[in-house]
Amino acid sequence: MAGQVDDLHQMDPEAFREHVRSFQFWLDAVEGYLEGTEYGHAPATPEAELDADERERLVTVLCNYCVGETAALEGAGGLIAVAPNRATKIFLSTQTVDEGRHLEVLVHRLRELGVAEPEAEIERRASPKLLEFKGRLLELVHGGDWEAALFAQNVILEAMEFAVFHRHAQEADPRTREVLEGIIKDERRHIGFGENELGRRLRQQPAARERLRGVREELDRLVLGCFEETMATVGASAAERGELSRSYLQAVERLGFA
């Protein structure tokens, strides 16, 4: 392991960037936190005792996470065709696998909670604003503007998921927490890729920043609307909703896209 770390430090920046976008890097990373888990949590982690109300709220939230992860799965897969070179295409193939895994573990968590027909339940409980966000994201992905699509997918959507999952994990039952913590580790890699790739592209063509500002204005409104809708459904207070919105906006700004 020490030898491997030394090798990484000695790489030139271009070789290093290619390495962190490789399937080999992905394999080493996920092995570290997924080994021994089944559907995203340790098999021995006990199921919490939830009352009917808590279970109901958790099912609604998980159904909406499934909508978000389906958007991420379709978006990451669609971006492969738009990506400008092989290293970015390879990275996006690892991201596509991650998003498929996220969707799978969340659907499985619904089954563990006794949801017999997750597909129907997701349809029933999906937030209209989140569906609108998904539609707009996929339009951007299929529009072929690499910077705008990558920004929508790997900055806006990832920052939204990161804010929500991070906050939820802090108060979740043990199984849900483990599932979310594994997902968050993958999302960090996706955000890192978006930040690095967009940072470079914007240095090369500063005019693209203006296009991204337009995308951000449009999507921020939808993201904040999703928070309002989903948080209201699960009975969160106005203060909690405000906190979630703030942490999303801070995440996007931390990435340098104020």
Q: How far is the CB of 18 from Fe ion (least distance, A)?
A: 21
Residue 249 tokens, joined = 């906006």
Q: How far is the CB of 42 from Fe ion (least distance, A)?
A: 20
Q: What is the helix, strand, coil percentage profile of the chain, to 5?
A: 80, 0, 15
Phi-psi region of 33 (alpha: psi -120 to 50; beta: other; left: phi over 0): alpha
| Residue 77 near residue 69 (C-beta atoms within 8 A) | no
Q: How far is the CB of 165 from Fe ion (least distance, A)?
A: 9
When the beta carbons of 165 and 227 are compared against Fe ion, the nearer one is 165
When the beta carbons of 185 and 209 are compared against Fe ion, the nearer one is 185
Q: How far is the CB of 30 from Fe ion (least distance, A)?
A: 13
Return the closest-CA partner of residue 71 out of 16, 25, 139.
139
Report d(CA 133, CA 115) in Å as an integer.
25
When the beta carbons of 69 and 178 are compared against Fe ion, the nearer one is 69
When the beta carbons of 99 and 178 are compared against Fe ion, the nearer one is 99
When the beta carbons of 147 and 187 are compared against Fe ion, the nearer one is 187
CA 16 to chain centre: 24
Q: How far is the CB of 154 from Fe ion (least distance, A)?
A: 7
Beta bridge partners of 41: 38
Q: How far is the CB of 102 from Fe ion (least distance, A)?
A: 4
Residues 6 or more apart in contact with residue 81 via CB below 8 angstroms: none
Report d(CA 44, CA 123) in Å as an integer.
31
Binding site for Fe ion (CB under 5 A): 69, 72, 99, 102, 187, 190
When the beta carbons of 99 and 121 are compared against Fe ion, the nearer one is 99
Residue 127 DSSP class: -
